[in-house]
Chain A
Amino acid sequence: MIITFFVILPLLGVFINSLLGRFVKNFSEIFINIVNFLLVVLSFVSLFYINTSENITLVYQVGGWVIPYGITLVMDSLTVFMLLLVNVVGFFVGIYSISYMKSYTESWGFYSLFELMIAGMNGVIISGDLFNIFVFLEIASISSYALVAYGIGKDELEASFKYIILGSISTGLILLGIVLTYSYTSTLNLADIAKTIEFDRSFILKIILFLFIIGFSVKAAVVPFHWWLPDAHPSAPAPISAMLSGVLIKTLGIYLIVRFIFNVFPKNQEILNIIFYLGILSMIIGVILALYQWDYKRLLAYHSISQVGYMLLGIGLGSPTGIVGGMFHMLNHSIFKSLLFLTSGALEYNFYTRDLKKYCCVNKIMPNTTFSAVVGSLSIAGVPPFNGFWSKLLIIVACIETKNILAAIVAVAVSVLTLASFLKVLKYGFYSIEDNTKFSENKKEVPFPMQFSMLSLAILCIILGILLYPNINDLLLSKIKSTIYEGSLYYKTILK
């Protein structure tokens, strides 16, 4: 019964906010942040419920209709992991946007769309039915199209249009995959599909899986479908860039890829190889294109593409260490990438520009922002003891275990290039002491809500390495390993 609250609470928040938010001043900010906080509390409660005993899977039938005639909601350990990621980052970004959105008009519309995006992502994660996934995928995508175009300037509209076109092509491909699956198996329930096609090796299933992978890869900004991301992320307002790059491309892209390859379709080595090579390609191209950029948010967007390549590399290896490394890197990346985008928003709030060469004396004026940015940059570059180091170490160890020495060398090289890129950011953006004194007079530190979010995420960056410690490991990460690696456990638990 607790599963349904993850969708009821944000939807209630959206409707009540649309009704009352435009009439009562400051109503949106307080109400939506309370709803987000309740969601975080619910995520932690379900974490301690599911993961502290043997593998429980909660299954809920909406409306009481039996399987496979109704909509199923499933909560197993992978679900709880993703729910934690989405809701915690959503809470901190919500607090950040209390003071950031003061410079835009009509902020109640922003909060409604933001909460709708969180509702859509929660729905994608907990749903166990193919068409339910499609409907919630569309809810999250459409609210993100509208949010990218929120401040209606020239750049934002063009970026949003490119994003809409590519997003709708991917939705068309996913719908085609759903239609073909329904016509082949005559059922829409994920567990039922898994049971029907478990030992089937026909050619049409490979084509269906290929269509799904292309559709989800466009949403996850994998090379060669990445060219909407460097335009959409800089133009959006900073909290939305943090949500888009930190959470949306992982929930709508990588989580669904993992679910479909490991739990629904039978084990397929060729598709894993394709994902492995796509991962390597994304890593290399992302970081090389990022070396040229002088626009801070565009640089961060290209690094997102490169880090998504790391996750696909970990997943495409197929071994348990690789999968745990890839998922742990997903958690780490959402935290430090959101942190970096929030610092870029703080810089834009004070200085009204995104060009790295124009910043000056940031270190003296905004010390808390500088500290958060330093923590974020060292995490993404993989410096111990921050959390980025541990997940990259797991991925490289998994590469060596499965005898892909070349992939391990490429991963280390990309990590070094990432470090170089972020040293450039720190030198020119934060620690420069040029003579631009007229540019930086009368500026002080950003308001308190923004500082609170940035410092909290920075503290999380420092302590998240603790998730690999032997006893705490059982809380989160080793449960995911068993859910994904023995894929057929999914439908056996649901359909008994």
Chain B
Amino acid sequence: MKKNSKNNSGMSLIVKTVTRWTILLIILYGLYITFFGHLGPGGGFAGGVIVVLSFIHIILAYGKDFVVRRINEYLASILETTGGLMFLSIAILGFATGIFFKDFLGQGKIFSLFSGGIILPANVAIMLKVGFGMLSAFLCLILFSLHKGE
């Protein structure tokens, strides 16, 4: 039996192969739930949690160094703040055309993707905030791990 001497972190080979195939499907599913949140169940919260589950999937299967090299905690925090700023600026832009949070994009053709006013950009902003907020919290739990003493 050949020993896997290159990377000893993470789980076995089967888990790593299946992970590589499924994370793209998970991200696609999460984006679908976010974008069609005004026509079916879902929306920003559920979509954000599903999108970030794919990143956590990679952390569990490959070990944390693989992800932290690409998305370190600074980038996750910046993306999360961008989501929050996007949501607040949508609200303030509604302000500029009358009332706070007003629906200024107009209703399109019913049942199509670009209908329902400001629900679509708001869902995307919430997806960024909830998703990367959860990723920052998860990274914070595993990165600053137990040092002895003090």
Contacts and interface: CB of A to CB of B under 8 A. Distances in A.
Q: Do chains A and B touch in the complex (CB under 8 A)?
A: yes
A12 interface: yes
B101 A62 contact: yes
B81 A15 contact: yes
Given A62-B100, A64-B98, A64-B99, A18 B81 contact: yes
Contacts of B91: 8
Contacts of A64: 98-99, 102-103
Most buried by A among B78, B88, B103: B88
A431 B101 CA distance: 57
Nearest to A64: B99
A11 interface: yes
A19 B78 contact: yes
Contact of B85 (A4, A15, A60): A15
Contact of B92 (A1, A8, A22): A8
Contacts of A62: 99-101
B63 interface: no
Given A4-B100, A12-B88, A63-B101, A18 B77 contact: yes
A19 B85 CA distance: 10
A160 to B, nearest CB: 16
Nearest to A4: B100
A63 B81 contact: no
Given A18-B77, A18-B81, A19-B78, A63 B88 contact: no
Interface residues of A, number: 16
Nearest to B95: A4
A63 B103 contact: yes
Nearest to A152: B150
Contact of B102 (A15, A18, A19, A63): A63
Question: Chain B binding site: helix, strand, loop or mixed by DSSP?
Answer: helix
A1 B99 CA distance: 8
Contacts of A22: 74
A63 B100 contact: yes
Nearest to B82: A19
B94 interface: yes
A63 B81 CA distance: 24
Contacts of B88: 8, 11-12, 15
Interface string B72-109: 00100110011011001001101100111111000000
A111 B85 CA distance: 17
Nearest to A11: B88
Interface string B98-131: 1111110000000000000000000000000000
Contacts of A19: 78, 81-82, 85
Given A11-B88, A15-B84, A15-B85, A63 B77 contact: no
Interface in B10-59: none
A473 B98 CA distance: 37
Contacts of B94: 63
Closest 5 CB pairs of A and B: A63-B101, A64-B99, A18-B81, A4-B100, A15-B84
Given A22-B74, A62-B100, 4 more contacts: A8-B100, A15-B88, A63-B99, A64-B98
